[in-house]
Structure 1
């Protein structure tokens, strides 16, 4: 994973020996999820093969898909294939065009391969990984398997009679599982928890619905983590996978009013995942309300949950406005920082680095956007504080 936990990634070409193709991640399927899973795995630095068993992919209308790292990578390669500059609008992306682009992509990639029209007759465990038999003489061996298609042929290897694909969960602040999110579903309340993706008592296999691109991308990053570190999916590192997906612009919280193009999108996503600022749930959508002013009441308990020292600060500062000066007081007390140096640094970065439109004013009550940027930068609750499988903060 290029920018986060795959810092030392290296390219391992496909090894073909005695009719056995070896890869890191094998994806079964030909719809949105399979495409996203294979692309994300390869973008994250491991070998990935997508086996469609058909003439090619059948993807949803490109314009209806969420704009993130996978769709941006596809758009870039589409422009290259069609020889279009960035200023020229993309034409309608038919499945014929999509498959031509994907073929060129896989032909030129050292990590992504697509195999069409290759039915398999058996799949079984092979050590900690999987072996898929294309013929008696030819097979594919993979460290991690992603099924975004019919699970029927895989069930005998799992020694179970049935299995449901990973299910999303509706955002509900009465529970903390939202902190374990690895993918938000565009235009809904729903998110996918890492622990909703992992299959109990089944290692190195992920089973997902065929049509959801965000879930496919989440599965691709999770599989890539296990393959790269040669570990089991049950030992997945939540924060590293979340960080990887955020670096590829996958929204992990389903905020309808903060788009990926927003200059503060990453800070808002990270603070949203912590729950230090909670969103408004309205008409089956989630609104972060970035320009609304922060209140003392809404941040008091969440910050105390994350930091022991915050208990003392809030005891000494009751029902005060959350202006810039008081926010600096919080971060300096909790984070052991010098007040004057922090004020000077913030003033320099306010408009230039953070792209905030307001003026630097110590007496100004902060918006949720401004508060998110400052807390994310100076306390780093998302990066530095871990949570357990239920989302409970571990201090």
Structure 2
């Protein structure tokens, strides 16, 4: 795989590809790597409590911390020192496997050759790759490949209405990069970031929806980092499995991103350091338990509030055929207790009576729940998300690019 560009999105795409075990060539088409962060001191106010993945790891690194957290990100973003960023990036790149960096690289030609791309630099160096990410600000690589920018198309165009609706179902189930617009949280669906054809030529900042969201200021950095990582994961997937971009598996791409700390949904009250972060992100990506959207547009999970059968029934019935039978047989259940949840898991997940004993045994050690185990207590959103994720795995049910369940 080859990444072309010098900005933060190029860095995130190249690093994600290398972490996904792809031989990755990063052609830096400028004098400086990531000038947005390595040229001068900057302060970033955007995406509060939404920093994640490679971006959050970089922020933690500037404070000499190994593990990211929302609080560290908030502190680091107040005043980002360019020299420290460069030192962190240099150290990360130095230990990255499968990553080859070409500094001040210039393109000579980009041509499709069968199922591969043939990329030639001005020094006559040639690369034959399965996938390309054009992370340049002018989409120069894309222009060389197609002759113009008129060929830039994505699988699904996103209208402005998308950002005014709460991200409950549909395309938001396929979310891979979070951000905010006018204070309102959103997630960009995978289909808005992948090519409409089977070319395996991906774009970051020049993709239609991303371009419409950029302000030209340092506040663009978090979104560009998240988009770069998402596109890097998608492109790496096509190259690793030798498939075309029209055959991407949404859940596999999302799972790869979660493995490296990305957010799928903009839940501002579930920090990246929360032990249940991944489980909650996975379950919410099915359309369940998304809590509430404040007037400001920020999305809250409300982990400690109770759960009613009615609010999870529609999605669970879509995911599991046996689910409908359970809800018919338990029509009198309103607010769920743990006992109700165990009953559902045993019926749908085909678990035996040993389930309660397992949960009690691992209540604090594995599941990291607070308080004492009691089957008659009300099941919170946290309980439901973590236990459904562990025993029913709703996230594993196949999902199309359009967000429609495929079971």
Give the structure-1-normalised TM-score: 0.83
Deviation at 1:298, TM superposition (A): 0.7
Q: 2: distance between equivalents of 1:284 and 1:350?
A: 34
Determine if the alignment matches structure 1 residue 301 to structure 2 residue 314: yes
Q: 1: distance between equivalents of 2:351 and 2:97?
A: 46
The within-5 A match list for 1:70-89 is 70-71=54-55, 74=58
1:39 maps to which residue? 15
| Structure 2: runs of 5+ lacking an equivalent | 207-220
The within-5 A match list for 1:49-128 is 49-56=25-32, 57-60=34-37, 67-71=51-55, 74=58, 93-128=80-115
The structure-2 alpha-carbon separation of the partners of 1:122 and 1:262, relative to structure 1 and needing over 3 Å to count, comes to: same
The structure-2 alpha-carbon separation of the partners of 1:172 and 1:85, relative to structure 1 and needing over 3 Å to count, comes to: closer
173-182 or 154-163, larger mean C-alpha shift: 154-163
Give the structure-2-normalised TM-score: 0.80
- Cα deviation digits, residues 261-316 of structure 1 (max 9, x gap): 01111111111001122332221211111111111221122222222222122112
Determine if the alignment matches structure 1 residue 314 to structure 2 residue 327: yes
| 3-state SS of paired residue (1:124) | strand
Deviation at 1:198, TM superposition (A): 1.5
Does structure 2 retain, via aligned residues, the 8 Å contact 1:306–1:381?
Answer: yes
| 3-state SS of paired residue (1:271) | helix
341-350 or 48-57, larger mean C-alpha shift: 48-57
Q: How many residues get paired? A: 365
2:211 maps to which residue? none
2:367 maps to which residue? 354
Q: 2: distance between equivalents of 1:125 and 1:334?
A: 48
- Cα deviation digits, residues 355-382 of structure 1 (max 9, x gap): 1112211111111011111111111111
| 3-state SS of paired residue (1:392) | coil
Q: 2: distance between equivalents of 1:137 and 1:335?
A: 57
| 3-state SS of paired residue (1:387) | coil
The structure-2 alpha-carbon separation of the partners of 1:103 and 1:337, relative to structure 1 and needing over 3 Å to count, comes to: closer
Deviation at 1:349, TM superposition (A): 1.2
The within-5 A match list for 1:205-244 is 205-209=201-205, 211=221, 212-244=224-256
Q: 2: distance between equivalents of 1:107 and 1:326?
A: 52
| 3-state SS of paired residue (2:14) | helix
| 3-state SS of paired residue (2:188) | strand
Q: 2: distance between equivalents of 1:26 and 1:178?
A: 28
Aligned-residue RMSD, C-alpha: 2.9
Deviation at 1:342, TM superposition (A): 0.9
